Chains A and B, each alone.
Chain A
């Protein structure tokens, strides 16, 4: 028999493209087709009132509640209180400082996440080391002729972001150190790490915040008092770093022994081995877990309400209790939910993108 290499043919037209996708996923056999139609119908009749409420019958323009017809959502409320939602009680004349900090932060993050832009290293140092000082000076003032703004005036989305960004940036390195400590061969380091992690992980964040704001001052000498926001930040960081430590430990355990041995055999020291060989691989594996913790942290910031800090959620609730706007809490909650969702979803998408980009052809994708 004569053997010839056969030419590769294109796949049948009905199996590719939009049509092919629909055939395969929506209308594969009578059962699948019926399910698609029924579920599609249900989706439409359930979603329609929501769309109607949020968009079609909603009122967007105006200044008072009288401008709302009452058929749909009254976005006038959000519109009128937007400044407060964003800036809290920050003096109106000074809100440009919050805007500027936010713009710088977004520019830094944008620079870091867009792969094409150069000088990632210096930029990361700027973002992590220099930017916090800039932001601190801008936000609290008191330097360079900037009017001091006390932290109890901070609030709204800007406060939420301060809590979340500081918590995220501080919790990761502490978490890594704690995880390394927990896997250390030195008994004291290991015990201290285990005790720290288990204690912080075992208590609710609300009690941590409560302790930070009410109990902690009792332990300090008379007259020595430091900022409530700072105490909340320290509480959140310590709490989240315990969670982070366990995520990181999971990642460290997934690295094969051979990687440690190869690094040892080449004569790398402990920190060289960890920083250059183990952590880069482990952190890549940990991205879903880390981002999960970040997202949880972002949402947990709204618990600072309990110690009298007004984050986005708290300030919305306060605004909804304003006699002029009684009855529009639903719009407020939807708005807050949407803002939280946008931030959390962005983190989630970026983490997925990062996982793909860091994939170098080993292990399971």
Chain B
């Protein structure tokens, strides 16, 4: 990237420039620079407490940053509420604990934001929701409440709910960490399909199989810094840093 630093690059979906964040005295993100091209699939891994979740949560401003710039789809993320809401329309997020709305049915979960945020007519929103529920393979659960579904099904609903907003970027914050082992695959399958369709994805996960299959780049973070980034083959086979080697040996050989 040889662009001048103050220009906004139209090829980029997300750009972080010298991002710094503190929790009180604690410096959680240290000078993060990251550029994500449109359609690129990025997997972020690292030990717990390394700041990887915090970093992607800054992208839709669930966390505030104190220094540096975040540019999403050409828009600078600032304190301006309008700007934040417009960025959030374009950025979908899937959480570790699904965070479905338990008092609404699956279908209501999916149509709520399109109807109220994007002002889509209800009929159209429901049609879109059913389309995405079919894509995550649970259209038959549309009338049920989240509490009646398994964890894997809930996470797939959460993915469908995000997709209903027709986002340009999807953030995944450890989407399979809270799932029983036999349900991980059904969620990963949906994510793999999504990746193959060209969605821009930033995914915090320890599913190294997923990283090898779909990632364009793997990023390794430790203590608030990006230690290493590379394409998956090189990342897994020839990690450069000692810290990366140690981490990989811990999660791959157990």
1/0 per residue, CB under 8 A from A, across B73-113: the answer is 00000000000011011011101010111110000000011
User: In the complex the two chains form, is B113's CB within 8 Å of A281's CB?
Assistant: no
Given A360-B102, A361-B145, A266 contacting B97 (CB threshold 8 A)? no
Chain A residue contacts of B146, Cβ below 8 A? 362
User: In the complex the two chains form, is B147's CB within 8 Å of A362's CB?
Assistant: yes
Rounded to whole angstroms, the CA-CA distance of A265 and B170 in the bound complex is 11
* Min CB gap B84→A, angstroms: 9
1/0 per residue, CB under 8 A from A, across B50-75: the answer is 00000000001010000000000000
A residues 308-365 touching B (CB-CB < 8 Å): 358, 360-363
Q: Does B165 contact A (CB under 8 A)?
A: yes
Rounded to whole angstroms, the CA-CA distance of A11 and B100 in the bound complex is 39
Which of the listed residues B91, B93, B116, B165 has the most CB atoms from chain A within 10 Å of its own CB? B116
Residue from the list A262, A265, A272 in contact with B100, Cβ < 8 A:
A262
Given A258-B97, A261-B95, A266-B88, A362 contacting B113 (CB threshold 8 A)? no
Sort chain B's interface into a size bin: 20 to 34
Given A276-B112, A276-B116, A362 contacting B99 (CB threshold 8 A)? no
Q: Does B177 contact A (CB under 8 A)?
A: no
Chain B residue contacts of A360, Cβ below 8 A? 102-103, 145, 147
Q: Does B234 contact A (CB under 8 A)?
A: no
B residues 103-149 touching A (CB-CB < 8 Å): 103, 112-113, 116-117, 145-148
Rounded to whole angstroms, the CA-CA distance of A261 and B162 in the bound complex is 13
User: In the complex the two chains form, is B101's CB within 8 Å of A265's CB?
Assistant: no
Rounded to whole angstroms, the CA-CA distance of A362 and B102 in the bound complex is 6
User: In the complex the two chains form, is B95's CB within 8 Å of A258's CB?
Assistant: yes
User: In the complex the two chains form, is B95's CB within 8 Å of A262's CB?
Assistant: yes
Chain B residue contacts of A266, Cβ below 8 A? 88, 112-113, 117, 161-162, 165
Residue from the list B60, B85, B99 in contact with A269, Cβ < 8 A:
B85
* Min CB gap A185→B, angstroms: 11
B171 closest partner in A (C-beta): A265
Q: Does A19 contact B (CB under 8 A)?
A: no
User: In the complex the two chains form, is A280's CB within 8 Å of B103's CB?
Assistant: yes
* Min CB gap B143→A, angstroms: 12
Chain B residue contacts of A258, Cβ below 8 A? 95, 97, 99
Task: Give the A interface residue count (CB, 8 A).
Answer: 23
Q: Does A44 contact B (CB under 8 A)?
A: no
Residue from the list A259, A267, A280, A363 in contact with B88, Cβ < 8 A:
A267
Q: Does A71 contact B (CB under 8 A)?
A: no
Chain B residue contacts of A272, Cβ below 8 A? 116-117
Rounded to whole angstroms, the CA-CA distance of A277 and B161 in the bound complex is 14
Rounded to whole angstroms, the CA-CA distance of A167 and B103 in the bound complex is 28
A257 closest partner in B (C-beta): B99
Q: Does A264 contact B (CB under 8 A)?
A: yes
Q: Does A134 contact B (CB under 8 A)?
A: no
Chain A residue contacts of B88, Cβ below 8 A? 264-267
Q: Does A284 contact B (CB under 8 A)?
A: yes
Rounded to whole angstroms, the CA-CA distance of A269 and B113 in the bound complex is 10
Chain B residue contacts of A284, Cβ below 8 A? 103
A360 closest partner in B (C-beta): B145
Rounded to whole angstroms, the CA-CA distance of A360 and B116 in the bound complex is 23
1/0 per residue, CB under 8 A from A, across B228-246: the answer is 0000000000000000000
* Min CB gap A268→B, angstroms: 6
1/0 per residue, CB under 8 A from B, across A225-268: the answer is 00000000000000000000000000000001011011111111
User: In the complex the two chains form, is B62's CB within 8 Å of A265's CB?
Assistant: yes
User: In the complex the two chains form, is A264's CB within 8 Å of B117's CB?
Assistant: no
Chain A residue contacts of B165, Cβ below 8 A? 266-267
A residues 267-285 touching B (CB-CB < 8 Å): 267-269, 272, 276-277, 280-281, 284
Rounded to whole angstroms, the CA-CA distance of A361 and B150 in the bound complex is 12
Chain B residue contacts of A264, Cβ below 8 A? 60, 62, 88
Which of the listed residues A258, A267, A361 has the most CB atoms from chain B within 10 Å of its own CB? A267
Chain A residue contacts of B147, Cβ below 8 A? 360-363
Residue from the list A259, A261, A362, A363 in contact with B62, Cβ < 8 A:
A261
* Min CB gap B144→A, angstroms: 9
Chain B residue contacts of A259, Cβ below 8 A? 99, 101
B61 closest partner in A (C-beta): A264
Given A259-B101, A360-B102, A362-B147, A265 contacting B60 (CB threshold 8 A)? yes
User: In the complex the two chains form, is A281's CB within 8 Å of B148's CB?
Assistant: no
A283 closest partner in B (C-beta): B103
Rounded to whole angstroms, the CA-CA distance of A359 and B230 in the bound complex is 49
Rounded to whole angstroms, the CA-CA distance of A362 and B100 in the bound complex is 11
A277 closest partner in B (C-beta): B101
A363 closest partner in B (C-beta): B102
24 A-B residue contacts at CB 8 Å? Answer: A256-B97, A256-B99, A258-B95, A259-B99, A259-B101, A261-B95, A262-B99, A262-B100, A264-B60, A265-B60, A265-B62, A265-B92, A265-B93, A265-B162, A266-B88, A266-B165, A267-B86, A267-B117, A268-B112, A277-B101, A360-B102, A361-B148, A362-B145, A362-B147
Q: Which 8 A-B pairs have the closest CB atoms?
A: A361-B147, A362-B147, A262-B99, A362-B102, A267-B88, A266-B113, A258-B99, A265-B93
